[in-house]
Structure 1
Amino acid sequence: MEMENENESVSVSENENERHFKSMQQIQHAFHEEHPLVLVAEQSNIEGLKAYCDGCGELLSAPCFTCIHCNYNLHKQCAEAPLSLPNHPLYPQQSYVGFFLRQRPYPSDHKLTRQDCKICFKEVRLERGSYSCGKQGCNYIVHVNCVLENDKLYKVIKEEKQCEEFYEKSMQSSIIHVIEVNEAGEATKIEHFSHQHCLVLAYKMEEKIDRKCDGCMLPISNIFYYCSERPFFLHKTCVELPRIKQHWFRQSNATLNFDSFKTCDFCDQYCSGFFYHVGYWDMCLRCAKVADIIECEGHQHFLFFDFKGSEKFCNGCGNRCSPGAFKCGKCKFALDFGCLTLPHSALHKIDEHMLNLTYHDDKEQSYCDICEQERDPSRWYYSCSICDTSAHLKCVLGKF
């Protein structure tokens, strides 16, 4: 009889708990379809409970959702996170394939392959939630919190049609109109947004004159377009640059513009010709080509761009990094856009040979052969190994 009463007591207690939980806010989540999840609003309700969020893998804290039937928990932020992000700017391929928030089911005998987050470069626990690229064969993966910590870095597109429209807008060509085409399908005569006259395709320069591309300011050495009415030249690759493109620096589109003179807001160099306008910033073509995750000859590890890296000082020049920094996930190394886009070699009247970008000097005392001032041996500099010439970056290149 006592046992029956005890069982009855337990049954009553369980029923009371169920009625209590039913009165609380509940959700049905795609990660845990078998049971509803109940909102726990106060931290005091989970005090002393050492549990982890099954979405991001971090220690559980309120507000959160929990399952009363099994040990499954989600932070409220993780539970409300978008299941797909079609256009996250930190995707290095600039693809419009979506990121999908998922938990990956693995067989019990399957050994998990280690994968690192492509934003913070720390390990992603694959049994927890993560954002990964939906493109077949692509291993791009990031932590949930790394994506969601800055809502300026992503845009939620609810309908597939919106994604298609966004993709079409971001692929607008710089060529306004194709006038003539050859048998190979190449545009031989075009109208381009950067010039008032028609441009004609050419394969080599007939005059023995050093001509520079009016778009990127680099020498003309291969296939190019020219104006027959006045001197104006563009590399074929510069002509084909997209007028509007998605850039990882911001979720908004970057627009290609043409100007006679600009200062790049990223590398702080003066430039003329083409530049991309991204939000409030003007970006030169050199900086526009830089990916958010890069390899650099001056460092042994990968570098990734950190939007919050403006408190860092650049290991190349010693200046404060702005806007943001390319940081190493394994050590304190950081670079700014200016040093990342430095030419690998440069000419200067101080030496008859090309001066090469050099990353470290073993000498205890170093001097610049141009300004004759002391030089920090831990900073980057230009040098000639033949003549033993060395010089500050700014002394060789001027303001950069």
Structure 2
Amino acid sequence: MEKCYCCDKHLEDIFYYCSPCDFAMKIACVEKQPLLSVHHLKWHEHTLSLFPRHTSLTCDACALTHSTCHFYVCPPCDFVIHQSCISLPRVIRISRHPHRISFTPSFDQRDWFCSICRQKIDNRYGGYSCFNGSCSYAAHSRCATQSNVWDGIDLEGVPEEIEEENEPFVIISNGIIQHFSHGQHHLRLEDSVWGDYDESKLCQSCITPVYFGNFYSCMQCKFILHEKCANLSRKIYHPIHPHMLTLVGGYGNVQILKDCCSACQWICRGAFVYECKKQGCRSFRLNVQCATISEPLVYKGHMHPLFLTSKPLEGRKCSVCENYTMTFNCIECACDFALCFRCATIPQNVRYKHDEHMLTLSYGEETIKNWCEACEKSINPKKGFYKCDEYCCVTLHIKCLLGNELYINPGYSSYASNGEKVLVMPNNQHMSRPLCSHCKKRCLRKLVFKVSRFIFCCRNCVSDHMYLSL
């Protein structure tokens, strides 16, 4: 939640906000008359006087010139500071850097760039730099104190605590572990044979198949984890949230299908998720794919690296799916390319049960065959598709290969619709694809939705059927 830059308290339902400056103030603070002078030794040795006019002076603390906030000045020293900047913290911990960072009134004469917005820092003005002497991390004052980066706590004078790392598993013997999410059984490390591919065998963490490489398999049941997923840290910081996130997951119990990933909006119940345990923002969660993606993001469909430069409450148009949401952004001159988390986390390489080779994700590339192998409809290369780079000429829509619901665990997920329990099941229960009870078309995706004796191809058909049944 945003805080008022004047009183540093949480904003109410109605407040003043300037999106270019990320400046927000409560109505009461705007209407309140400022003090004519202040004495604040942490910021300046002399008494500061209120500047009587609204003007575009440059604040020595934040390097911004917006005049929506009152200025205080020290004429003999040529010192200028916003009223709101007087309350800037001295020492903070942000989610984008492992060390504490502290306020500095100016930077040395090197070229400094803000590690949050990726823009150049003016050395003459204040900002934040890393506590660790061997680290060159730096950030603008307003960037470092954004509500999606900083937790609002000033750590000046607070001793730094070393957070203990909880290991995700206990080693039982060579190649055998006991994972925290599956404590009742032991898991054995195995190697996926290249030609032995079963699309129904899903990693219970990321809900994607084991295409190749090592994985852990339960010695008593069907529980599977990619080796990478088994080693996921149990606690992390993520660039888009100010608090620590905790990995939660389980197996064997039907999961309620109601929560979405806060980054990509895919439904993420039934998979492992990173959740915020802090009171007030327990609804924040990330699926494994969004939690482990990092910046700079190297995307095959764009020539420049992408960064998370968006401010709180700011959404941009994704250049691929054209939805307005939180995005990775290109910072190169005259380039406004943006990529949302949903598009950024689509797997680059996948397997198809009717092709022995790996398929790769392609955007805008020419292909010999411009129709989908599964649905036999045309493919728009600009929207993305999977293709075989060998001589098979296999091409598939992204949704036809991955499905409409990417990270739902079939057989272990359910939700309620108009009081009816809806089971999410794998679409491999019959010799042929079943007919949807609502749209009367074949259920071609990997999942089907079952309500009593009815089968549906998607959640939209479930909702429409329930609506008509009222």
Task: Provide TM-score, normalisation by structure 1.
Answer: 0.71
Structural RMSD (CA) = 3.9
Residues 376 and 314 (structure 1 numbering): CA distance in 2 closer, same or farther, change over 3 Å?
A: farther
**Which residues in structure 2 correspond to 1:40-55 (within 5 Å)?**
40=50, 42-43=52-53, 47=55, 51-55=57-61
CA distance in 1, matches of 2:151, 2:48: 28
Q: Work out whether 1:284 is the aligned partner of 2:275.
A: no
Post-superposition CA distance 1:56-108 (Å, at most 9, x none): 2222635222112121211222232111112x1233xxx1x1111213454xx
Secondary structure in 2 matching 1:101:
strand
Which structure is higher in helix share? 1
CA distance in 2, matches of 1:174, 1:349: 32
Instruction: Verify the 8 A CA contact 1:222 1:235 in the aligned structure 2.
Output: yes
Partner of 1:57: 63
Partner of 1:222: 214
Secondary structure in 1 matching 2:163:
helix
Instruction: Verify the 8 A CA contact 2:147 2:242 in the aligned structure 1.
Output: no
Question: 1:80 is matched with which residue: 87, 91, 96?
Answer: 87
Q: Work out whether 1:381 is the aligned partner of 2:368.
A: no
Secondary structure in 2 matching 1:383:
strand
Deviation at residue 368 of structure 1 after TM alignment: 4.8
Question: Which of 211-220 and 115-124 deviates more?
Answer: 211-220
Post-superposition CA distance 1:334-391 (Å, at most 9, x none): 111121111112334676643321122369x965565454544433222335455544
Partner of 1:328: 330
Secondary structure in 1 matching 2:272:
strand
Q: Work out whether 1:312 is the aligned partner of 2:313.
A: no
Instruction: Verify the 8 A CA contact 2:247 2:273 in the aligned structure 1.
Output: yes
CA distance in 2, matches of 1:209, 1:342: 20
CA distance in 2, matches of 1:206, 1:296: 27
Instruction: Verify the 8 A CA contact 1:307 1:325 in the aligned structure 2.
Output: no
Residues 371 and 312 (structure 1 numbering): CA distance in 2 closer, same or farther, change over 3 Å?
A: farther
Partner of 2:20: none
Task: Provide TM-score, normalisation by structure 2.
Answer: 0.62
Residues 366 and 307 (structure 1 numbering): CA distance in 2 closer, same or farther, change over 3 Å?
A: farther
CA distance in 2, matches of 1:206, 1:146: 45
Post-superposition CA distance 1:154-194 (Å, at most 9, x none): 33143665641xx527x33444xx586x7xxx89664x432
Question: 1:361 is matched with which residue: 362, 365, 368?
Answer: 365
Partner of 1:136: 133
Deviation at residue 289 of structure 1 after TM alignment: 0.3
CA distance in 2, matches of 1:272, 1:151: 26
Partner of 1:26: 39
**Structure 1 unaligned blocks of 5 or more:** 1-21, 107-111
Instruction: Verify the 8 A CA contact 2:107 2:126 in the aligned structure 1.
Output: no
Q: Work out whether 1:245 is the aligned partner of 2:236.
A: yes
Q: Percent identity?
A: 25
Residues 116 and 372 (structure 1 numbering): CA distance in 2 closer, same or farther, change over 3 Å?
A: farther
Secondary structure in 1 matching 2:40:
strand
Instruction: Verify the 8 A CA contact 1:383 1:391 in the aligned structure 2.
Output: yes
Residues 64 and 309 (structure 1 numbering): CA distance in 2 closer, same or farther, change over 3 Å?
A: closer
Partner of 1:168: 163
Residues paired across the two proteins, number: 347
CA distance in 2, matches of 1:370, 1:393: 11
**Structure 2 unaligned blocks of 5 or more:** 1-34, 277-281, 407-470
CA distance in 1, matches of 2:387, 2:361: 7
Residues 281 and 213 (structure 1 numbering): CA distance in 2 closer, same or farther, change over 3 Å?
A: same
Match of 1:168, as an amino acid? E
CA distance in 2, matches of 1:65, 1:392: 59
Post-superposition CA distance 1:196-219 (Å, at most 9, x none): 42526x454699997764434553
Deviation at residue 395 of structure 1 after TM alignment: 2.8
